[in-house]
Copies of this chain bind each other. A is one copy, B any other.
């Protein structure tokens, strides 16, 4: 792992604490005193002899332990960004609309170097703390400000450009100046209209392989009576617009 945070999850059933080595934690099953050299995969006991499991924080745990400043992007949408853009460890990503920072944290945990912009200073501070929690403070750079005002700071150096902001189209227009050849754009848009605007900006910018995907996810229920999709539906989250920078040479071929 690339993170600098050495906190571990100490867990028993629904009791779950994110603790630093050496920390003391009171619980309803007694007091936990965590050794300084505590290791994930071991077991610790309270002074009453009750066992807790020690483990590393993993991606899905972020949804329980990050401080929220808005609705975080869901695991499925984060995953679809990874799957459809093929971002890899060592890649560089530029992100706008940090919010809670779940996407940035996931990317950071995948070994991606992330530069992410959050306009709201308080949200940006919270996101920085969240990157500590996620163990990716070293690889995710949370900047306070507006990406559209600092576009000139960057060369065509990013493998991935992820946007979850209302003014995404204003950034998409400059995608070719930001992306390395073959690099990908991913825009998250809750609404049809904003997805369409992102697509039109991508067309205007000459990007290739533009597609907008809507994903409907359902849980399957398996019980004694049989198998069926859940009667509780899973709702819409957002549209994902993908596009790719493919430099064009000479006459169309």
A residues with a Cβ closer than 8 A to B are 1-2, 9, 11-15, 29, 40-41, 43, 50-56, 58-62, 74-90, 106, 109-111, 156, 159, 180-184, 190-196, 199-200, 211-220, 222, 225-239, 246-250, 252-253
| A217 / chain B contacts, CB cutoff of 8 Å | 213-216
Query: How many copies of this chain does one complex carry?
Result: 4
A59: shortest Cβ distance to chain B, in Å?
2
Residues A226 and B41 in contact in the complex (CB < 8 Å), given A62-B86, A75-B86, A239-B220? no
Could you tell me if A181 and B61 are in contact, using CB atoms closer than 8 angstroms? no
| Interchain CB contact (< 8 A) of A191 among B53, B109, B227, B238 | B227
Query: Can you report 14 A-B residue pairs in the complex whose CB atoms are below 8 A from each other?
Result: A29-B253, A50-B249, A51-B250, A56-B182, A76-B80, A83-B106, A191-B228, A196-B227, A212-B220, A213-B219, A214-B219, A218-B236, A230-B235, A233-B234
A131: shortest Cβ distance to chain B, in Å?
14
* Interface residues of chain A: helix, strand, loop or mixed (majority): mixed
| A12 / chain B contacts, CB cutoff of 8 Å | 249-250, 253
| A76 / chain B contacts, CB cutoff of 8 Å | 80, 83-84, 213, 215
A74 to B86, CA, bound (A): 12
Could you tell me if A213 and B218 are in contact, using CB atoms closer than 8 angstroms? yes
| Interchain CB contact (< 8 A) of A79 among B74, B81, B218, B232 | B81
Could you tell me if B41 and A180 are in contact, using CB atoms closer than 8 angstroms? yes
A62 to B106, CA, bound (A): 22
Residues A236 and B231 in contact in the complex (CB < 8 Å), given A58-B159, A88-B110? yes
| A193 / chain B contacts, CB cutoff of 8 Å | 226-227
Residues A229 and B214 in contact in the complex (CB < 8 Å), given A79-B83, A83-B77? yes
With CB as the reference atom, state the residue of chain B lying closest to A81: B79
| Interchain CB contact (< 8 A) of A109 among B53, B88, B106 | B88
